[in-house]
Amino acid sequence: MKVNQQILGGVRVKKRMWALGIVFLAFAAGCSLEETDETQEEQVMELPESEAERSEIEEYEVELSENLYDFQFALNGKVWTLPSPLADWQKDGWESSDAIEDTELEAESYTTEGMTLKKEKDLVTVSMVNPESEKKALKDCYVGKAELQWVQDGQVIQLPGGITMGKSVLNDVLEAYGTPQDQYEEKEEVYLTYEYGMYKEADFIFDLENEILQRAVLTNYREPETDAETISQEVPRETQAYEAPTGFSENPLDFVVSYGGDFYRIPAPVSGFLEHGWKIDEESSDTSVKAGRHGYVTLEKDGQALYAVVKNYGESRIPVKNCMVTNVSGDFDVTKIPIAVGNSITLGMSEDDMKIRLGGSTYETEEEETGTAYSLYADETKKNYIRIFVDQDLKLVREIEVSNSPEQLLEEMTGDTDENQENPENADSSALMGE
């Protein structure tokens, strides 16, 4: 079996289109109820067929988290947490519809096409993820995405916060999980999207007419955390050796960036951002990161969020605050953070002025649907880069992204070339930064 795969990485957040139609519908429905006369209220009315059906759905006594961001759900009373080993599903009697014995999944990657797991008459469509730093057999990887579909007289699907598919309605989900990042109508359905940083997302789809929850797509491609490995509180030498710049560098590939008015050289310690008033969003961030590995953090300040990849350059698992941020970005649409690079190239600058400030820097251009991307690469691998996007209509810089994740950081910062730093076994690939 051949699978299509995608390397984990990249921090561009999809542009959100907020649709308020459903809010208006709820408001209108509330008004119509208030205007109902007493005679109508006293009438005894039978439940519509759909209402009667959903009221009869069996519910199991299960211990589920109250928090959606824990990515738990129950199928016929059996609780699952994403990501979960495929082997656990197989032990529970689920079988793959595809032959996967000879299939492998690249390091730090996920499948882009779902496969079907079947248990008796029940079906679940899943996508697999390999969060490890080496290639693994698909059968040894994790279920990272589950597409759940409610079917009359099918399996009972329960979610955190007392939500039951086929029974709970739109307002139930809003009350349980709060305001979504996105809400819109499409054809005969209503969609809600909840995001918890990078690669953690939940989509809920409701029938437009009765607003009953019909489908749910839960995605968590982040590495599962375990209590088996001790978390060291010792700050890695790479983090201790970091020195923040005091101004711009004319060479953009020095990876000096002014971000939110403060200067950083990427990669920069998460703790350095905290010193400048940023706070870690615990719900959307990894608690800790393994030695030599990448992880994810969401930083918040003044109502803005930075979704960042981090790297642990130490030799033990450490808290995310002691890791190094390897990617920052700013734009006019989502991450509205003032950002500038190189010889003070800033958001809103004209394309002509930007080219002048690039000076003799070598860059590549790529025409996209809404403009032109100027990319400056540190080397031929193209894993570490500066990306400047110019709007095709305004001819202004609309987005800037800075990404730098060297394999051996201490040597680069201090010239340290001791045996430990040169040992390739201590260096992890930067595959996370590829797209």
Taking alpha carbons only, the member of 292, 239, 300 closest to residue 267 is: 239
For residue 133, the Cα-to-chain-centroid distance in whole angstroms is 19
- pLDDT number for residue 25: 31
Q: Which residues neighbour 382 within 8 Å (Cβ) at sequence distance 6 or greater?
A: 375
| 257 within 8 A of 306, measured Cβ to Cβ | no
pLDDT of residue 234: 93
- Closest by alpha carbon to 292, among 138, 402, 86, 134? 134
Residue ranges in the chain whose pLDDT is less than 50: 12-54, 416-435
Query: CA-CA distance, 401 to 283, in Å (whole number)?
Result: 24
| Residue 379: both structure tokens together | 């080397």
The whole-number pLDDT of residue 354 equals 96
| Token pair for 204 | 């809920």
1: which 2 tokens?
Answer: 């079996």
Tokens of 26: 């709820």
Residue 90 pLDDT: 95
pLDDT of residue 229: 76
- Given this model, what pLDDT does residue 99 score? 72
pLDDT tens per residue, range 337-375: 999 999 999 999 999 999 999 988 999 999 999 999 999
Whole-model pTM: value is 0.74
Report d(CA 428, CA 408) in Å as an integer. 9
Closest C-alpha among 205, 221, 157, 247 to residue 5: 221
Rounded CA-CA distance 216/237 in Å is 44
Q: Per residue, what are the HEC states of the chain?
A: CCCCEEECCCCCCCCCCCCCHHHHHHHHHHHHHHCCCHHHHHCCCCCCHHHHHHHCCCCCCCCCCCCHHHCEEEECCEEEECCEEHHHHHHCCCEECCCCCCCEECCCEEECCCEEEEECCEEEEEEEEECCCCCEEHHHCEEEEEEEECCCCCCCEEEHHHEECCCCEHHHHHHHHCCCCEEEEECCEEEEEEECCCCEEEEEEEECCCCEEEEEEEEECCCCCCCCCCCCCCCCHHHHHCCCCCCCCCCHHHCEEEECCEEEECCEEHHHHHHCCCEECHHHCCCEECCCCEEEEEEEECCEEEEEEEECCCCCCEEHHHCEECEEEEECCCCCCCEEECCCEECCCEHHHHHHHHCCCCCEEEEECCEEEEEEECCCCCCCEEEEEEECCCCEEEEEEEECCCCCHHHHHHCCCCHHHHCHHHCCCCHHHCC
